[in-house]
Amino acid sequence: MTIENRRLLRDAFGTFMTGVTVVTTTDATGQPIGFTANSFSSVSLDPPLLLVSIAKSSQNYATFAAGKGFAINILSEGQKDVSNTFARPVEDRFSTVQWQIGPHGSPILNGVAAWFDCSLHQIIDAGDHAILIGQVQAFDATTRAGLGYYRGSYFTPSQSVVAGPAVVVSALIEREGHILLQDDGRGGLTLPTAQVGTKGATATLESLIAGAGVTASPGVIYSIYEDVEAGQQHIAFLCPCTDGAPAKGCFVELATGLDDVTDPAMRVMLDRLADESRVGNYGIYFGNQNAGRVARVAEGTSL
């Protein structure tokens, strides 16, 4: 992938990280299948990876799990009917939409805000769901506004009276069993954290690392949870650190230095990281600030 394409992909990840999507692939006979998903997440820029989850009870699960890849179609604000079609048990969902086969072989819907055509990189078991991780092989992003869905209603950027959850990013900057913590302004400690706003999750994460003043790599997603009370979707990235003295905060030992972390959900996440670091068996958390599930990565695999 060229430097320019990587920049464009980073911008696309940041702009369309959440929203209503239609996930598509083809079955063994070449017939298109797809389903509506109301969010997806970028996992890595190098290589370019993204993820979406699918229920194991879905009639399409076996086809997606056995396929060579899938496409993420980010619906535009005028495609509510497309979202509804692919969310219902319709016999031929593709009969009412225009589409074409993408460069890597999955169906691309016409008129979408963006699309990512992916090869299947990995499947992670997640209880009654599976997490499909795809490696982006081709993509395109347009100037069309995306379609959002939050608490039972569609919304678009032009609807100022309806807002989705704020997306907050935290950087788990880890070095040799120590984690970087900063003053939370309330007498306690917290991770480097910022609200995404309009610049996207990837750019926000890079800004957090740069502000920390250390040499660290933007890492993979370690935890995704919704703080219902605060109206926030929280995404934490595990970022390996190799060098540098922090410009803000300090490194504390994961095993003993977490007493001053004031946010309960963040404290639980860091306690889990401390335990998983000792045994080398990592997982990705999905849920809310109170309860959820951990999708295990293969033992011995480093996130």
Residue carrying the six token digits 């109170």 = 290
CATH classification of the domain holding 134: 2.30.110.10
* H-helix segments, the chain: 3-15, 61-66, 80-87, 201-212, 264-279
On whether residue 161 sits in a domain, the answer given is: no
Domain shared by 122 and 202, yes or no? no
Please tell me the predicted confidence (pLDDT) of residue 127: 84
**Which 3 state secondary structure label does DSSP give 115?**
strand
Cα angle value 230/234/235 (rounded, 5°): 175
Give the count of alpha carbons within 13 A of 82, CB side only: 28
Structural domain ending residue among the three candidates 155, 188, 212:
155
Mean pLDDT on 99-127: 93
DSSP letter assigned to residue 282? -
Confidence of residue 214 (pLDDT cuts 50, 70, 90): very high
pTM of the predicted model, to two decimals? 0.53
Confidence of residue 196 (pLDDT cuts 50, 70, 90): confident
Which domain, by its residues, includes 196?
A: 166-296
Please tell me the predicted confidence (pLDDT) of residue 15: 45
CATH classification of the domain holding 236: 3.90.79.10
Write out pLDDT tens, residues 2-36: 555 555 555 544 444 457 899 999 999 999 999 99
The more confident residue out of 221 and 98 is: 98
Please tell me the predicted confidence (pLDDT) of residue 147: 78
On whether residue 302 sits in a domain, the answer given is: no
Residue 180 Cα to chain centre, angstroms? 22
Please tell me the predicted confidence (pLDDT) of residue 78: 86
On whether residue 147 sits in a domain, the answer given is: yes
Peptide bond into 47 cis (omega under 30): yes
Please tell me the predicted confidence (pLDDT) of residue 191: 96
